[in-house]
Structure 1
Amino acid sequence: MAKLPALGSTSEIRDPIVQVKWFTPDSNWTWWVIEYDPESHIGYGLVHGLEQEFGTFYLDEVEEIRGSLGLPVERDLQFDPQPVSQVMNRA
């Protein structure tokens, strides 16, 4: 998480890079992380769950989420950073 851009630092970029993908293996929620503040543990990015929207989220809360089978949120280790527009087209 240390290499993520600081929270608010990509606000002027038209198509920022998604750096990290988190997902629930037993439900349909996904977080594509663009920015992160290590002090407050707040991330910013595209969230796909009940709806698809940009917003902030607390890493501590994401880590507590469990899907229908009780599985925790996982980081997609195969995910390569890419522009958010590419992620939106696949979501």
Structure 2
Amino acid sequence: MPKKQTPKSSQFRARNGKGMELLTTELLKVLPLPDAVANPNDPMVFAKLFLAIGSWTMWVTSYDPKSRLLFGVVDHIEVEYGPVPIDELLKFTDFDGSLGFERSTSFSARPLTQCIKRSKAS
């Protein structure tokens, strides 16, 4: 299994460096590589990212620091699993640059099926 390298969390500040850290040092330490997910049928979700000005949510299950891809389930128009480039989330802002992607600070790790059930209930 490849050794995981932990990048500096300051590389993950949203809105071109003016917003919230989407991936903290603590989160980077626990996020597995995509090929090391413990239970692929119901993977553990370690972070909830969301768009403050819309209905976009991502349940993050793993991260590949080499490709800078987050893996997980995106719930927007459709619900789908796959990779999302972290750099796309970091640079996105609304029309005046004041809002972008955020990370839920109250989220605690849980299996993906629990996240999807809660998302559909709200």
When normalised by structure 2's length, the TM-score is 0.67
Contact 1:18–1:33 (8 Å) recurs in 2: yes
The structure whose residues are more often strand, as a share, is 1
Structure 1 residues 9 and 25: CA distance shift in structure 2, 3 A: same
Question: Which residues of structure 2 form unaligned runs of 5+?
Answer: 1-27
2 CA distance for matches of 1:6 and 1:68? 34
2 CA distance for matches of 1:76 and 1:69? 22
Of 46, 68, 71, which residue of structure 2 is paired with 1:44? 71
| Aligned position for 2:113 | 85
When normalised by structure 1's length, the TM-score is 0.87
Paired AA for residue 80 in structure 1: S
Q: Deviations over 1:32-88 (max 9, x none)?
A: 100101121111101011111111110001112335775110111110000000011
Question: Which residues of structure 1 form unaligned runs of 5+?
Answer: none
RMSD, aligned CA: 1.8
Identity of aligned residues (%): 33
1 CA distance for matches of 2:118 and 2:95? 23
1 CA distance for matches of 2:72 and 2:90? 16
The structure whose residues are more often helix, as a share, is 2
Q: How does 1:1-91 map to 2 (within 5 A)?
A: 1-10=28-37, 13-67=40-94, 70=97, 71-91=99-119
Of structures 1 and 2, the larger Rg is shown by 2
Contact 1:24–1:66 (8 Å) recurs in 2: no
